[in-house]
Structure 1
Amino acid sequence: MERENTMEQAKARLLQAAEMHVAFDGWSEASFQAAIADSGVNPGLARALFPRGGVDLAVAYHHAGDAAMAVALAARDLTALRYRDRVALAIRLRLEAADKELVRRGSTLFALPHHAIEGAGLIWATADAIWTALGDTARDVNWYSKRASLSAVYGATVLFWLGDTSDNNAATWEFLDRRIENIMQFEKLKAGAQKSPGFQALMKGPLKILERISAPKGTSDLPGKMKG
């Protein structure tokens, strides 16, 4: 346990030290080496903790933001909020705690073709963190559809936020509300269609297949399994 704590402390020190360099050098090897020098962490240990240097630091920064969002959301009283407003609050807390320039540099990094899949995975992880923090209990195909929809909303909102120059990012929060409203309208339309006899007859076969899909039980079970 003591060794684990020491490792986590070293990770935190390196990440904190790197942040002041990323605005100038991006999530790069230069920032990684500067973080080692500033933090005093042993270079061998630093490389063991972040084998890819700046890329792994960027991943760690993203995950730290997800964790901070979950803590901030848990401290809020959500009982008076509609579910859509809880989702909007979670995204807002996630972005308000982030440094825009560091996120911009991360977005540039994960837009590169050889990092794009990992970048998409990080957005999915944020959507999963939000739904988990909000107590989502879906274990069927809805587990996936919820995260897919929220990933699209979150990704679009981040891009808008990066270019937002309005006071307190007011334009971003308005954009976010519109995107969530779009999702709500789609869900309402989908629910209505699913109740129609024609839809049930047409989708009888595909729906049987979808019923067999279950949510993953852990990271080793990703992306989930078919029942039966």
Structure 2
Amino acid sequence: MSDDLSTRLLDAALPHTAFDGWSETTFRAAIADTGTDPAVARGLFPRGALDLAVAFHRRGDAAMADRLRAMDLTQMRFRDRIATAVRTRLEVTEDREAVRRGTTLFSLPPYAPEGAKLIWGTADRIWSELGDDSRDFNWYTKRATLAAVYSATVLYWLGDESLDHQATWEFLDRRIADVMRIEEVKAKARANPLLNRLMAGPDRMLGRVRPPRSSRQVGVPGGWTAPR
């Protein structure tokens, strides 16, 4: 029952975000529109509109995951799978203006850590849906890199007025190509005997870094295995 009420409150809030953003005014309007007891609404969303904005973002992540599972990505190059996942995350967005207002909210210093956590969560969800099984420092680098690509693409998409957002998808392809070039440079460095020896020590240290036991619990992610 609480999940149903949470959904109704979020749905009721969305039309108000275009005018009032993710604000207390929007939260109160959603309460009034649904006829919800304010105490019950506050119990579901203790931080008011901030928690509504978080719920909106996470609902998009869940919709993306559902759509990706229905696709056959096995014949795609891995870079194309990533591009498809990011594109899918934007295409399942219900309300671009709500995303714009959320971007504004999470750019404010008090809420920036929450916004960064959401972007990290999206990157983690994408890698998980694509079957990433890394259990070392690569777990972090993959998500950090994708988080940067995703956040840049969102900002571009918010201002894109091209037909079917074609300019956004071209921008996304360029960002992924940039990342692939970096990976090629890293691969060449590993293939160089001298550089490989120089990096042996740092690689051993980084090899002891572990991801969280559950990638869904990313409040303070990760762990460290002490050297013996």
TM-score range (shorter-chain normalised) is over 0.9
Aligned residue in 2 for 1:140:
136
Match of 2:20 among 6, 17, 25: 25
Partner of 2:125: 129
Give 3-state SS (helix, strand or coil) of 2:65's partner: helix
- Alpha-carbon RMSD across the aligned residues, in angstroms, is 1.2
CA distance in 2, matches of 1:220, 1:54: 22
Stretches of structure 2 lacking an aligned partner (at least 5 in a row)? none
- AA aligned opposite 2:114: E
The 3 A distance-change label for structure 1 pair 190 and 109 is: same
Aligned pairs for 1:174-189 within 5 A: 174-189=170-185
Corresponding residue of 2:190 = 194
Supply the AA of the counterpart residue of 1:23: A
Name the counterpart of 1:76: 71
Match of 2:221 in 1: 223
In structure 2, distance between residues paired with 1:191 and 1:215? 23
**Selected match of 2:199 from 187, 199, 203:** 203
The 3-state SS of whatever aligns with 2:75 is coil
Structure 2 match to 1:58: 53
> Distance in 2 between the 1:42 and 1:68 partners?
28
For structure 1, the residue ranges without an aligned partner over 5 or more in a row are 1-5
Could you give the per-residue CA deviations for residues 35-74 of structure 1, whole angstroms, max 9, x where no partner exists? Answer: 0111222211110111111111000000000000000110
1:37 partnered with 2:37: no
Q: Any idea what SS the aligned residue of 1:37 has?
A: helix
Deviation digits for residues 73-93 of structure 1, max 9, x if unmatched?
101111221111111111111
Cα distance in 2 for residues equivalent to 1:207 and 1:101:
44
Q: Distance in 2 between matches of 1:165 and 1:81?
A: 28
CA distance in 1, matches of 2:158, 2:106: 15
Deviations 1:108-136 (A, max 9, x none): 00000111111111111100010011111
Alpha-carbon distance in structure 1 between the residues aligned to 2:182 and 2:219: 29
List structure 1 segments (4+ residues) > 2 angstroms apart after TM superposition. Answer: none
Quote the Cα distance in structure 1 between the aligned partners of 2:218 and 2:103. 27
- Counterpart of 1:225 in structure 2: which amino acid? G
- Supply the distance in 1 between the matched residues of 2:7 and 2:206 (Cα, whole angstroms): 42
* 1:201-224 deviation line (CA, Å, top 9, x unaligned): 222221111010111112278411
Q: Give me the TM-score of the superposition, normalised by structure 1.
A: 0.95
Q: Is residue 7 from structure 1 mapped to residue 2 from structure 2 by the alignment?
A: yes
1:113 to 109, 113, 116: 109
CA gap 1:194/1:181 in 2 versus in 1, 3 angstroms: same
Query: Match for 1:192: what amino acid?
Result: K
Shift of 1:13: 0.7
1:165-219 deviation per Cα after TM superposition (whole angstroms, max 9, x unaligned)? 1001000000000000111111111011012122122222211110101111122
For residues 25 and 144 of structure 1, what CA distance do their matches in structure 2 show?
36
Structure-1 separation of matches of 2:131 and 2:37: 40
